[in-house]
Chain A
Amino acid sequence: MALDVREAAPAGTRGRPRREITTAFVVSRIVVLAVAAAILLYAVPPLVATGSWVALGLLCGVSAAIAYLYLTRRFIPAKYLIPGTVFLVAFQVFPVVYTLTTAFTNFGDGHRGDKAAAVTAIETGSVRQAPGSPEYTLSVATRGEELVFLLVDPATKQVSLGTADGLTPLDGARVGVTGKVLAAPGLTVLKAPEAAARGQEITALAVPTGDGVIKANGLSRAVEGKAALVYDAACDCVRGNGGTWTADESQGYFVNARGEHLAQGWQVNVGLDNFARVLTNPTISGYFAGVLGWNLVFALVSVLGCFALGMGVALALHHPRMRGTRVYRILLILPYAMPAFAMLLVWRDMFNRDFGLINQLLGAEIDWLGQTGTARLGVLLVNIWLGFPYMFLVTTGALQAIPRELTEAASIDGATPFRAFRRVTLPLLLVALTPLLISSFAYNFNNYNAIALTTDGGPFPADSPQVGGTDLLITYTFRLAFGAGGAQFGFAAAISVFIFAIVAVISAVAFRRTRKQEEVYA
């Protein structure tokens, strides 16, 4: 670092000390830049394919900036700041901004694409085969550069030429046994691979007939069909099937006079609707207080339980007369090292009333996950079991940093061990660990896995299938947003904003208090 600072100094009159350029330095720089360039290059084809020119421009700009930054000798601090900033933007700022913007839309099932996509889907989905029309055997040919269809009516063996202008009878074509045209005068019949290569043109070609179009159905058949529903740009509506559906830009649906809508909708801005729904919907606001209360208890008890247990064990192993600490440490880290997903499922099965290990060991008949009280106790136990090794690890670390002389001094001053712990060790520990406790609280407040994989929110009372006894805000709202009504990303995003606000307020208050505490200890 010191070298770099000197490097950054303006070129003086004297020969300034230079960083020695070794082969390793050059090679490593090339490798890092090449990897960066490779990653950026990798992103180019999909962006080109989707025509995202703005994103592509951004990408090029960023690559140029990175290349410039690392190939000059200037901007030393930026060299260190840029990677962190890029990751911060990519993994923190972008998701937050995206969530916020999504919260104002109706993005979700039925509203995933834009209006043009919805219109296409409505029209293609409504194409019905013209009654009584033949199912042509299709061969694809070219007339000069133009792609044409050779259509054989299987009943009459009549060959027709289908172009964008219409259908005309064709004489002199040779038809093979499968009904496909082998050769035709003036045309080049395409072989299967050649036809497959022009798949998009084949899909696009529509041969107009009396009141419909003949379109390819795969590469070897063609049928005459007609779209029952057609979009009319003049009235911004869809007509057909004896009805008119007018575009409603506030809902993102085509709606008819009776208020019914077509299945395919599009994404629109709904303003504050999603937020209003969270606040006014009786199934959400009605249960909110109860769920929030249990959620706070769950997060608090999880954190304090883990901390108390982890710290207790750490203190015990920290005691100078303790033997075999290494073995204990390895054993204690086991729950932490196991994949939590698998462990949660194992615990769920252990709590089973008739087949679970716990009842069998206790010889009991307790329906652990079937009653609110025991289910809550169960998830707390599981969560503490999973979480305390982490607290044990960090407490052990923090304990090493507290000089033993302090407690020894306290005992010489006549303090009991408990008093010494209470007055000396614990405050010093807390200074180091409070930020961790707060972040652990925020984590447990949104601990989706612990609930979803053990009780899945249950048990549910007979009269309220929406909210279960162990539901946290996150599991409860996940069910609302992704359960019954299909995926509702916009609504889910609005709920995330609320949950974020709750966690942020609690954390902010806690951090403020910690700062005061530190002042006291200091």
Chain B
Amino acid sequence: MRKRALGVAALATLAFAATACGSSPSASPTAAPSASASAPAAGGGTLVIWADPLRVKPLQPFAEQFGTENGVTVEVKEISKDNQMTFLTASQQGSGPDVMIGAHDWIGNLVQNGAIDPVTFTEEQKASFSPKAIQAVTFDGQIYGAPYALENIALIRNTDLAPDAPATIEDMIAKGKELKEAGKVKEVLCIPVGQKGDAFHVYPIFASGGGALFGATASGDPDPKQVLLGSEESVKAFGKLKDLGEKGDGALRTSLTNENYIVNFAGGKCAYLVSGPWAISEVKKGGITYDISAVPAFKDGKPATPFVGVQSFFVASKGKNKALAQEFVANYVTNKDVAKALYDADPRPPALTAALEEVQAADPDAAKFLDAGKDGMPMPAIPEMAAIWEPFGIAENAVVRGGDAAKAAAAAQKAIDGALKN
């Protein structure tokens, strides 16, 4: 009796295991033309969108609406770590999404890895975006993504302590030092430096001091063959950072890091903060009355141009449903309501002019940030940019601690040249 039970069970399991293999070859022809063929009557196709945690929720209703209108299933999946790398690895293995959301400065690297396709906009669509957003997502003469939000850093000041927006960096430092001597604040300026520097936040000051990263090609794009970090102008700019540093005015300090600089401002420990729209919620929590203006320039200096980052939707080259992805990116998310919903979830100024106008009316901060970034430079999207961040940051850290500007600039230039040669 027992023996027979075992035999039956064994047969059943064997049959089960056998079907695992047996059914697969016959399944392949139907599986090949994507999942779509499986249920053509009920519509078909699945659109998979990958987004970071902040954007999953606001995107959901629009994704669903798009799904109903086109009779497809739309899946918005949250990716929270190393998004660019995860996307590249998954694309390569064929398990990637159809639509990816990310910053425009990924474009160079994604293109060299063949991971995204160009997006075609009509002239009318192009005109509906802010020109800077279109410039940012353009790489090598092609538009590679649908932009939806712009972000740049600005000077946020505590209006109780510093009622007037400073006209120059010198004014700001003087006021900051005055407040510090009076014991009203503990820091002259809250800007992250840390042990490895922070190229993104210090860039407007560096640019105002005359520093530059890349030369320009004939078409006006950054030219990776001309790294200018070691140039004479950049050395001067590093010299100015040194003057602002720990052995000078004490405005730049390595002990202020990405983890504590906003907290310090929100706690009233400094009058000025250099940060982006992402800092606002914490500043509000601290109960600070604040105003936003552009990062000032040095007296007689060049404009203090911040980097402008553009959040974008990309069409994955290896996606299973590219027609749907194109439809979604080129013809759907360029919709004003989507832009506004994303803004509500994460208040960065929309790239779509119409959405921006509506947002501005309700939220003056968005307009002020955008105004502060109007001279900004879209972050170079070339893959070579990856080589800049760390050596630049370390050179910044070195001069802030009082190191020699010429030496630091030359070492950074050498490191970058070495990396780009490979």
Please list the residues of chain A having a beta carbon within 8 angstroms of any beta carbon in chain B. Answer: 21-23, 26, 29-30, 33-34, 37, 40-41, 44-51, 56, 59-60, 63-64, 66-67, 71, 109-110, 112-113, 117-118, 120-121, 124-129, 135, 191-203, 216-221, 223, 225, 263-265, 283, 349, 352-356, 367, 369-370, 455-456, 458-466, 479, 483-488
Counting CB contacts under 8 A, is B394 at the interface? yes
Counting CB contacts under 8 A, is B113 at the interface? yes
Would you give the 0/1 interface string for B63-75, flagging 1 where the beta carbon is closer than 8 Å to chain A? 0000001111000
- A–B Cβ pairs within 8 angstroms, 9 of them: A109-B109, A126-B142, A192-B43, A193-B70, A196-B44, A200-B321, A218-B328, A221-B330, A484-B420
Q: Give every chain B residue within 8 A of A462 (Cβ-Cβ).
A: 395, 398-399, 403-404, 407-408, 411
Specify the chain A residue showing the minimal Cβ separation from B264.
Answer: A355
Contact A460 B112 (CB under 8 A): no
Counting CB contacts under 8 A, is B360 at the interface? no
Query: Which residue of the partner chain, among B14, B95, B255, B324, contacts A199 with CB atoms under 8 Å?
Result: B324
Counting CB contacts under 8 A, is B361 at the interface? no
Contact B323 A29 (CB under 8 A): no
Instruction: Check A34/B16 contact, CB under 8 A, given A199-B322, A223-B120, A459-B195.
Output: yes
The interface centre, meaning the residue of B17, B21, B32, B70 with most chain A CB atoms within 10 A of its CB, is B17
Q: Please, how many angstroms separate the alpha-carbon atoms of A466 and B387 in the complex?
A: 11
Specify the chain B residue showing the minimal Cβ separation from A50.
Answer: B94
B188 CB to nearest A CB, Å:
12
Q: Please, how many angstroms separate the alpha-carbon atoms of A23 and B3 in the complex?
A: 10
Q: Please, how many angstroms separate the alpha-carbon atoms of A111 and B32 in the complex?
A: 27
Contact A487 B330 (CB under 8 A): no
Contact B21 A63 (CB under 8 A): yes
Specify the chain B residue showing the minimal Cβ separation from A491.
Answer: B422
Instruction: Check A135/B394 contact, CB under 8 A, given A462-B404, A486-B109.
Output: no
Contact B71 A463 (CB under 8 A): no
Contact A200 B28 (CB under 8 A): no
Counting CB contacts under 8 A, is B259 at the interface? yes
Counting CB contacts under 8 A, is B204 at the interface? no
Q: Please, how many angstroms separate the alpha-carbon atoms of A218 and B146 in the complex?
A: 13
Query: Which residue of the partner chain, among B20, B114, B328, B412, contacts A264 with CB atoms under 8 Å?
Result: B114
Counting CB contacts under 8 A, is B81 at the interface? no
Q: Please, how many angstroms separate the alpha-carbon atoms of A120 and B420 in the complex?
A: 25
Contact B33 A48 (CB under 8 A): no
Q: Please, how many angstroms separate the alpha-carbon atoms of A367 and B10 in the complex?
A: 69
Contact A353 B40 (CB under 8 A): no
Residues of B394-422 whose CB lies within 8 A of A: 394-395, 397-399, 401, 403-404, 407-408, 410-412, 415-416, 418-420, 422
Q: Give every chain A residue within 8 A of B28 (Cβ-Cβ).
A: 48, 51
Q: Please, how many angstroms separate the alpha-carbon atoms of A225 and B9 in the complex?
A: 62
Counting CB contacts under 8 A, is B86 at the interface? no
Contacts A118-B114, A355-B255, A462-B403 known; list 12 others, CB within 8 Å: A23-B2, A29-B6, A34-B13, A46-B94, A121-B111, A124-B118, A197-B37, A197-B45, A200-B320, A218-B324, A349-B260, A461-B398
Q: Please, how many angstroms separate the alpha-carbon atoms of A193 and B68 in the complex?
A: 9
Contact B415 A484 (CB under 8 A): yes
Query: Which residue of the partner chain, among B24, B398, B419, contacts A56 with CB atoms under 8 Å?
Result: B24
Q: Please, how many angstroms separate the alpha-carbon atoms of A370 and B197 in the complex?
A: 12
Q: Give every chain B residue within 8 A of A37 (Cβ-Cβ).
A: 13, 16-17, 20
Counting CB contacts under 8 A, is B92 at the interface? yes
Specify the chain A residue showing the minimal Cβ separation from B415.
Answer: A465
Instruction: Check A129/B317 contact, CB under 8 A, given A121-B114, A199-B322, A465-B412.
Output: no
Counting CB contacts under 8 A, is B226 at the interface? no
Instruction: Check A465/B94 contact, CB under 8 A, given A41-B20, A109-B109, A460-B397.
Output: no
Instruction: Check A44/B24 contact, CB under 8 A, given A135-B122, A460-B196, A484-B391.
Output: yes
Counting CB contacts under 8 A, is B253 at the interface? yes
Residues of B140-164 whose CB lies within 8 A of A: 140-142
Specify the chain A residue showing the minimal Cβ separation from B110.
Answer: A109
Q: Give every chain B residue within 8 A of A34 (Cβ-Cβ).
A: 13, 16
B138 CB to nearest A CB, Å:
12
Contact B17 A197 (CB under 8 A): no
Instruction: Check A193/B195 contact, CB under 8 A, given A218-B326, A484-B387.
Output: no
Q: Give every chain B residue within 8 A of A487 (Cβ-Cβ).
A: 85
Specify the chain A residue showing the minimal Cβ separation from B321.
Answer: A199
Contact A40 B20 (CB under 8 A): yes
A377 CB to nearest B CB, Å:
15
Q: Please, how many angstroms separate the alpha-carbon atoms of A221 and B10 in the complex?
A: 57
B280 CB to nearest A CB, Å:
22
Counting CB contacts under 8 A, is B80 at the interface? no
Contact B118 A71 (CB under 8 A): no
Would you give the 0/1 interface string for B358-377, flagging 1 where the beta carbon is closer than 8 Å to chain A? 00000000000000000000
Query: Which residue of the partner chain, among B40, B112, B327, B420, contacts A218 with CB atoms under 8 Å?
Result: B327
Contact A466 B415 (CB under 8 A): yes
Contact B122 A26 (CB under 8 A): no
B222 CB to nearest A CB, Å:
14
Counting CB contacts under 8 A, is B331 at the interface? yes
Q: Give every chain B residue within 8 A of A125 (Cβ-Cβ).
A: 111, 114, 117-118, 140, 142
Contact B13 A71 (CB under 8 A): yes
Would you give the 0/1 interface string for B22-47, flagging 1 where the beta carbon is closer than 8 Å to chain A? 00100110011110110010111100
Counting CB contacts under 8 A, is B383 at the interface? yes
Contact B260 A67 (CB under 8 A): no
Contact B394 A465 (CB under 8 A): yes
B62 CB to nearest A CB, Å:
16
Instruction: Check A194/B43 contact, CB under 8 A, given A135-B122, A265-B112.
Output: yes
Contact B111 A263 (CB under 8 A): yes
Contact A217 B330 (CB under 8 A): yes
Contact B416 A484 (CB under 8 A): yes
Q: Give every chain B residue within 8 A of A109 (Cβ-Cβ).
A: 88, 109, 112-113, 383
Q: Give every chain B residue within 8 A of A455 (Cβ-Cβ).
A: 195
Counting CB contacts under 8 A, is B390 at the interface? yes
Q: Please, how many angstroms separate the alpha-carbon atoms of A110 and B407 in the complex?
A: 32
Q: Give every chain B residue within 8 A of A64 (Cβ-Cβ).
A: 17-18, 21
Q: Give every chain A residue within 8 A of B398 (Cβ-Cβ).
A: 460-462
Specify the chain B residue showing the minimal Cβ separation from A266.
Answer: B114
Q: Please, how many angstroms separate the alpha-carbon atoms of A225 and B387 in the complex?
A: 34
Contact B386 A486 (CB under 8 A): yes
Q: Give every chain B residue within 8 A of A60 (Cβ-Cβ).
A: 20-21, 24
Contact B114 A196 (CB under 8 A): no
Contact B411 A464 (CB under 8 A): yes
Contact A21 B323 (CB under 8 A): no
